[in-house]
Amino acid sequence: MGVLIDENTRVLVQGITGRDGSFHAASMLEYGTRIVGGVTPGKGGQDVHGLPVFDSVAEAVKATGADCSVIFVPARFATAALREAADGGIGLIVCITEGVPVLEMLGNYHYIRERGGRLIGPNCPGLITPGKSKVGIMPGHIHEPGSIGVISRSGTLTYEVVYNLSREGLGQSTCIGIGGDPVIGTGYIELLEMFEQDPQTHGVVLIGEIGGEDEEQAAEHIRRSAGKPVVAFISGRTAPPGKRMGHAGAIISGGKGTAEAKVSAFQEAGVPVADRPDQIPALMKEKLRG
């Protein structure tokens, strides 16, 4: 079953006539994603990979019944694209674009929520329900259908973890890249709650990194909820003190957001924390055995 997307999700690609939008639309189509069209203002009436291109999201939704949109536009156009998707009635908006200003995203977050939409991202690889649908840029071939949910702030690290899970026979229900920016649309706790309600998901891998306090808050939620088994990995544990690196969200302030603080929070919540990504499958199998 998975969460958020499945084989019935009808997807629009905003920015489909651009280099990245066109390339990844082809990849999503090849995977089996039900893409119903694209949107590029001023280029309505064209087609890309056999898909109709519309001038606006509203026009595309009316013609196709789309309920999800994935955004591949430059950062300077991202806010307009996000708000157009929300105004057009799109329920799930996935923003791959990076470099969107933090203050703009703060406004976008509330704008989308007020209109009943859900945002994944920005600055994220998207999400995939293996064997059914992928929305974004994740490499589909490394994923296998199964019962492990994956939530990650990192893009490429997600792929490494998924590769190891699949190799060890632990397929995935849904894998979600939430994005590495300070302001994102959907965080760990909301997704943990979704996986808790998903009968297909038996365990969750949570991938975090230095900066912010999202992982500590997720650990507290896990400690209080006593739900499905969770295994964690925190990247940046060898980052030099005082050096800013990685995602925009990977900023340590006032002694908070360190790798040590995150690892400690998870351990106190009964969540094993892997030292290396390839240790995650064994830790998950141990948790599943109870």
Give the tens place of pLDDT for each residue, 167-203: 999 999 999 999 999 999 999 999 999 999 999 999 9
Give the pLDDT score at 170: 98
Where do we find the tokens 């302030």?
A: 253
pLDDT at 252 over 60: no
Catalytic status, residue 247: yes
Candidate list 24, 143, 202, 247, residue with the active-site label: 247
| Amino acid, res. 61 | V
Average pLDDT of the chain? 94
The whole-model pTM stands at: 0.94
Q: Residue 258's pLDDT band (boundaries 50, 70, 90)?
A: confident
Predicted pLDDT at 242: 57
User: What pLDDT, on the 0 to 100 scale, is given for residue 62?
Assistant: 98
Per-residue pLDDT reduced to its tens digit, 224-251: 987 899 999 998 765 556 555 555 445 5
pLDDT of residue 2: 87
Written as six digits, the tokens of 112 are 């989308």
**pLDDT at site 241:** 60
pLDDT, tens digit, for every residue of 39-81? 999 999 999 999 999 999 999 999 999 999 999 999 999 999 9
pLDDT digits (tens, 9 = 90+) for 117-173: 999 999 999 999 999 999 999 999 999 999 999 999 988 899 999 999 999 999 999
Determine the pLDDT at residue 160.
Answer: 96
Task: Return the beta strands (E) in the chain as ranges.
Answer: 11-14, 35-39, 47-48, 51-54, 68-71, 92-95, 118-120, 126-129, 133-136, 145-152, 172-177, 203-209, 230-235, 273-274
Number of neighbours of residue 177 by Cβ within 10 angstroms: 29
| Res 254 pLDDT > 70 | no
The CA–CA distances, whole Å, from 202 to 20, 67, 250 equal: 35, 27, 30
CATH numbers and ranges of domains, the chain: 11-120 (3.40.50.720), 139-289 (3.40.50.261)
Task: Give the whole-angstrom CA distance, residue 178 versus residue 184.
Answer: 7
